[in-house]
Structure 1
Amino acid sequence: MPAAHHHACSCCAEPQDGPPLSYGSPAPVGWKRRYAWRRDSELTADQCVVKGRHFYVHGLIEIPVLDTGDTFSWGVWVSLSEANFGRTCDLWEDPAREQEPPYFGWLSTELPGYGQSTLLLKAHVRTRAVGVRPLIELEPTDHPLAVEQREGVTAARLGELAELLLPG
């Protein structure tokens, strides 16, 4: 029988029953704290530039939870070309950004629990309404993360992830 999961919501700190429905990474894999002192590097909650040459956006890989109807989300970083990153920045507060075609990028977050690296999976960044993180759609491969995004997961799988990621 799986362990009961209790956690504090990361947004409001209220106690919650069951495993969390989201986990995230505060920075792309290439970010180092020392870059914060560089003029050509910046990390915000939504975007990242490293050495003026590497550009990232923070988005969500959304996965349906089959037996509950919930949606589980991985908060991940995806690298973009300089041109696509510039376009993303230009439209950041523009409601018309929802009409943008998806931008190609490479997953730049290492996620635990998959038995193989999640780095550099091909992805598409789909811009959503202002104030909503972009949707990250992985290319349909046989990688376990891509399969989960396509086919969904069970609540039991969320319990496994909670066991792996939650302290205690």
Structure 2
Amino acid sequence: MIDHGFVCRGCGQRHDGLAFSYGASAPAYWRDEFDGDERSVLEDETCVIDARHYFVRARLVIPVLDADQDFDWGVWVSLSRDNFSRTMDLWTTPGREQEPAYFGWLSTELPVYPVQTLNLKTEVHTEPVGTRPHVVLEPTDHPLAVEQRTGITVARVQEMAELLLHP
């Protein structure tokens, strides 16, 4: 097993492990005042805002070229009402991964990128029951899309950890 501990440039301390996964607990559009609103609900895997905006939690996977594991962003993606309804209809249905990908908008701001990540175009790919969908970004020159296509290094994972641990 490789020791991914590192001396942090943010605080100067040694961190024993290097996380290869970070996630958002809610879509960027969720506000605390939605709690108690019968038209808005935030659950572990799904979110509805004002009975008009629909979101699912998904994984945006980035290959790590010099490690034996990938980096995983836990993100939220908006879906159309019809696609969200279809997703819910198939939530516990074996074979649901055979569904064609759904169009979605990335609904998570990832602060380690120099440009906003909100509203990047995505394809949302359903996985087998019990596994979160995964997201493939439209192939643009956005730094996140480039990293998803070409991969990153452990040094980049450490850089992201330092930025997230010490904003």
The two structures have a TM-score, normalised by structure 1, of 0.90
What letter matches 2:165 in structure 1? L
State the 1:108 CA deviation. 0.4
Matching of residues 126-137 of structure 1 within 5 Å: 126-137=125-136
Describe the SS at the equivalent of 1:95: coil
Q: Which residue does 2:66 correspond to in 1?
A: 67
Distance (whole Å) between structure 1 residues aligned to residue 95 and residue 40 of structure 2: 28
CA deviations 1:39-86 (Å, max 9, x no partner) are 111101100000000000000000111011311000000000000000
Q: Which residue does 1:101 correspond to in 2?
A: 100
Q: Which residue does 2:11 correspond to in 1?
A: none
Q: Which residue does 1:80 correspond to in 2?
A: 79
Structure 1 gaps of 5+ residues are 7-16
Q: Which residue does 1:11 correspond to in 2?
A: none
Distance (whole Å) between structure 2 residues aligned to residue 110 and residue 43 of structure 1: 17
State the 1:36 CA deviation. 1.7
Q: Which residue does 2:19 correspond to in 1?
A: 20
Describe the SS at the equivalent of 2:7: coil
Distance (whole Å) between structure 2 residues aligned to residue 34 and residue 112 of structure 1: 23
Structure 2 gaps of 5+ residues are 1-5, 9-13
CA RMSD of aligned residues (A): 1.4
CA deviations 1:7-26 (Å, max 9, x no partner) are xxxxxxxxxx4310100000
Distance (whole Å) between structure 2 residues aligned to residue 3 and residue 151 of structure 1: 26
The two structures have a TM-score, normalised by structure 2, of 0.90
Distance (whole Å) between structure 2 residues aligned to residue 89 and residue 167 of structure 1: 37
Describe the SS at the equivalent of 2:82: helix
What letter matches 2:120 in structure 1? L
CA deviations 1:99-132 (Å, max 9, x no partner) are 1000000000000111000000000110001111
State the 1:3 CA deviation. 1.8
Structure 1 segments, 4+ long, off by >2 Å, are: none
% same residue: 55
